[in-house]
Structure formats: C-alpha cells, structure tokens
C-alpha cells in the first residue's frame, strides 16, 4: 500500500484520484465496443444476443431465457446450509426495507389539495455479475427492495456458465423472489437485451453492478431505460485511531482488496497503525485463495494515510467520498455525524463492511468513484416514481390565479395566462 503522510498530501491525493476515476470510466475503446454491441442487439434482436453470447462467453444457446424446469433443477442443487443462509439474508434485507417510509404526502390548502403519489415501476431488470464466482448476493440486494417497493415484474440477467446454464445460487434466489424471467446473458449485450426487449421481457430500469462494459452500456442506454447508478470498482475507506485492533483493520482492507480493481484505503491518526496495518494486510492477502487479486489491489490501489487528528481524518473521508466508510473507533458517532459523503457507514469495531455485503440489511449496491457526493445506496425510491398532484378549489384559484397569469405573461406565454384567466372569468373551480 502506498503511504501518504499529512492532511494536505491526503487531500491532494483525493483530488487526483477523483479525476482519474472519472477519466478511466470513459475509455474510448470501451465506449466504441459497447456502442457496436448495442446497435447489433437493436437491429438483430434475440439472434444478435445469442451470437454475442457465443462470441464473448463461448456458449451456444437456443434461446436467451432459461426454462423454469432448468431453474428449479439448479435451485435444488444448492446445499441446504447455503439455502438457509440465503433465506436469512433475504428476510433481513426485506425487514430493513419494509421499515423505509414509502408513501407520498398531502398538503391541504383551504379548499384545495396538493401532494404526491408514489407509483412503483412496472418492470425492472436486475443484473448479476459473473466472473470467477457469481455474485448472487447482488440479486437479492436489488430485487428485494424492488419487490418491497411494489415492482410487478423482475427480469434477471446473468452471464452463463461454460455449459450454458446459470449458476445454481442465482436460480435459487430468482425463484425465491418470484422473478418473472431469467436470462443467461451477460455484459453489455445483457443491458441492451433488457432495454430493447431482445429475447427477454423489456424493462423500465436496469439495476445492479457490473464490469466496465456493463457500466458503459447503462450509460449509453440511459433514456431508453433508467439506471440506478454507473458503478465502478468497489472501495472501502477505514478510518481508525489507536483504539482499533491492527488485525481487524488489516482484515477489512483485505476483504475489500479481493475484488478486482478495488481500492482499500486506511486513514488513521495512529503512526503505529499507519505502518503496521498495510504489512499485516499483505500477509493476510497472501494466504487467500484470491491472493493474486487481493495483493494486486493492495499494492497498486491501496493507500494508507496518516493525518494529524480526527478533524483531518473526517476531511479526507469527505474528500474521498467512499462507497464504504468504516469507522473503527470506540465512539464512532461524533465522527459519523460529520460525514457528508459516503455510500454507507459502518460504525464501530464489530460493524465490518463484509457483514453489510451479505445480510445486515441495507443493500450493498452503493455509489462508487466519489459519486457518494450526490447519490445514495439502492433504496425503495430507486423503484418508484413520485407523481405530484393538485386539486384546485375556487378559493385557492381566486387567491393565486392573478399572480400565476402575471408570471406567465412576464415569460411571454400568453396562452398560459389565458388558461388561468378563463377559469377566473367563469367564477368556479374548474
């Protein structure tokens, strides 16, 4: 891990990093490749999706969608202990989101009513990353809040395995959550298929993390479909002082580092921790089955920053705007109340981010690449539209009709003014 010393040096690194992340996420060659895939799917439909799946994944299938009997057979192969763990995770995530306020509001203004209704989306596509291991937890972390929000149809897309099937765990979760359809397709072609309805039911929004090609496809198809975020590689910032156990700090950094391209960051007021934790992290990473990935993340993207005090640590945290902010402090709340920019807060020595990844409650789909400055983790609002309404009575019309007409005429919109005045002239509430 790179050692950075001092508040100013840490803040300068945060600024350089933010621009680098933004630039890397817009690589011309990725954009061009994704644009070609999208056009092929738009023009060729399901046949193009199948051809692209064979080209990129080496898998030949007769159709994109997976038959229900195939899903049921896969789900039945999931070991009983793992199935029970998945059920526990789904139940905890559902309980968390059922506690989120989800309704609209109403303001009564004399004889008139103004407010907003929340309306669930009709169809959502949940993308589940593949790679060396299927991240099936991403499915329940997006599909559960969608279900709680009232989404009618969930369509799942995930890269096929070499034999053309979808992972058994994905099949189990999809059936447990009542998914409308499951597609054995990944990459940019999966996002395009969901957007155009190419071999799969067409959706209104695509959610879930993915690689650079998936993210670029979401960027290019936004407008045809909605997206919840443009996710980049995952990141964790551990803020710790002398109260933190170096072994726990190292464990949290390594847990993050075993994702490809991840950024494990330590910001500390302890010189001992600053020097010791990176060394312990490398030792732990070297013992993992995923040692290659974890060591690469630590050595190429990991940073250990030493700052003067907790005031400086919070400043650096907010400048970095991490996906995960882990406050390994005896009393984390005074610091937590000053955090402005973080996807999620993990407070205290026992609140490890790895627990949040699976079943603590909140979705693990959180903003990356400093986008926590303006965006949030996946919540019910990602699966709802907020529709305002107004029902105007004679009293309110008489009170605000004249000012409304004056405002319209000031903007040169006489038709707007006359629409208001026509009601006033009638002497009723419309």
Q: What are the phi and psi torsion angles at 244 (to 5°)? A: -80, 140
User: In the chain, what are the helix, strand and coil shares in percent, each to the nearest 5?
Assistant: 50, 15, 35
Contact 55/159 with Cβ under 8 angstroms?
no
- The two tokens of residue 21 are 């992340």
Catalytic one among 169, 216, 259, 324? 324
Q: Residue ranges of the alpha helices (H) in 99-202? A: 137-149, 168-176, 187-196
The CA radius of gyration of the chain, in Å to the nearest whole number, is 25
Contact 187/213 with Cβ under 8 angstroms?
yes
* Angle (CA) 278 238 303, round 5°: 45
| Residues 6 or more apart in contact with residue 33 via CB below 8 angstroms | 188, 213
Catalytic one among 315, 323, 353, 364? 323
Q: Residue ranges of the alpha helices (H) in 204-363? A: 212-221, 246-257, 271-286, 291-301, 310-320, 333-336, 353-358
| Adjacency order of strands within the sheet including 303-306 | 2-5, 303-306, 263-268, 235-240, 324-328, 344-347
Q: What are the phi and psi torsion angles at 239 (to 5°)? A: -105, 120
Does the annotation count 15 as an active-site position? no
CA distances (Å), origin 139, targets 45, 90, 304, 382: 25, 10, 33, 15
* Angle (CA) 170 289 211, round 5°: 50
Contact 366/94 with Cβ under 8 angstroms?
no
Long-range contacts of 34-37 (CB under 8 A, 24+ apart): 34/188, 34/213, 34/216, 34/217, 34/220, 35/220, 37/187, 37/188, 37/189, 37/192, 37/213, 37/217
CA distances (Å), origin 138, targets 73, 194, 358: 21, 17, 9
| Other CB atoms within 10 A of residue 99 CB | 10
Does the annotation count 364 as an active-site position? no
Residues acting as catalytic residues: 323-324
């Amino acid at each position: 891990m790179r050692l950075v010393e001092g508040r100013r040096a840490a803040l300068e690194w945060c600024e350089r990093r933010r621009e680098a992340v933004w630039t890397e996420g817009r690589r011309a060659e990725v954009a061009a490749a994704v644009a070609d895939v999208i056009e092929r799917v738009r023009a060729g439909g399901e046949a193009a999706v199948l051809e692209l799946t064979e080209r990129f994944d080496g898998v030949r299938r007769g159709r994109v969608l997976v038959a229900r009997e195939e899903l049921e057979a896969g789900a039945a192969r999931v070991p009983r202990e793992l199935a029970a763990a998945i059920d526990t995770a789904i139940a905890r995530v559902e309980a968390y989101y059922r506690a989120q306020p989800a309704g609209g509001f109403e303001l009564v203004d004399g004889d008139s009513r103004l407010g907003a209704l929340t309306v669930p989306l009709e169809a959502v596509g949940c993308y589940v990353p593949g790679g060396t291991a299927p991240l099936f937890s991403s499915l329940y972390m997006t599909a559960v809040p969608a279900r709680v929000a009232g989404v009618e149809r969930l369509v799942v897309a995930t890269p096929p395995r070499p034999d053309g099937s979808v992972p058994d765990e994905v099949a189990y979760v999809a059936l447990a959550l009542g998914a409308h359809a499951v597609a054995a397709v990944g990459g940019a072609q999966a996002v395009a298929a969901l957007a155009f309805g190419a071999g799969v039911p067409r959706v209104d929004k695509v959610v879930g993390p993915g690689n650079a090609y998936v993210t670029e496809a979401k960027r290019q198809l936004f407008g045809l479909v909605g997206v919840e975020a443009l996710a980049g590689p995952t990141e964790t910032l551990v803020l710790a002082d002398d109260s933190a156990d170096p072994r726990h700090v190292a464990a949290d950094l390594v847990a993050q580092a075993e994702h490809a391209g991840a950024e494990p960051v330590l910001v500390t007021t302890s010189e001992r921790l600053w020097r010791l934790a990176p060394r312990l992290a490398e030792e732990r990473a070297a013992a993992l089955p995923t040692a290659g990935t974890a060591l690469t993340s630590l050595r190429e993207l990991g940073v250990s920053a030493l700052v003067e005090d907790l005031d400086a640590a919070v400043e650096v945290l907010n400048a970095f705007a991490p996906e995960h902010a882990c406050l390994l402090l005896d009393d984390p709340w005074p610091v937590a109340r000053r955090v402005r920019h973080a996807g999620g807060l993990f407070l205290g020595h026992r609140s490890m981010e790895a627990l949040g990844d699976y079943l603590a409650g909140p979705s693990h789909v959180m903003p990356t690449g400093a986008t926590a400055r303006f965006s949030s983790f996946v919540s019910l609002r990602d699966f709802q539209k907020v529709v305002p309404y107004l029902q105007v009575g004679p009293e309110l019309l008489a009170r605000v009709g004249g000012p409304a007409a004056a405002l319209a005429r000031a903007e040169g919109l006489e038709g707007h003014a006359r629409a208001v005045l026509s009601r006033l002239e009638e002497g009723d509430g419309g």
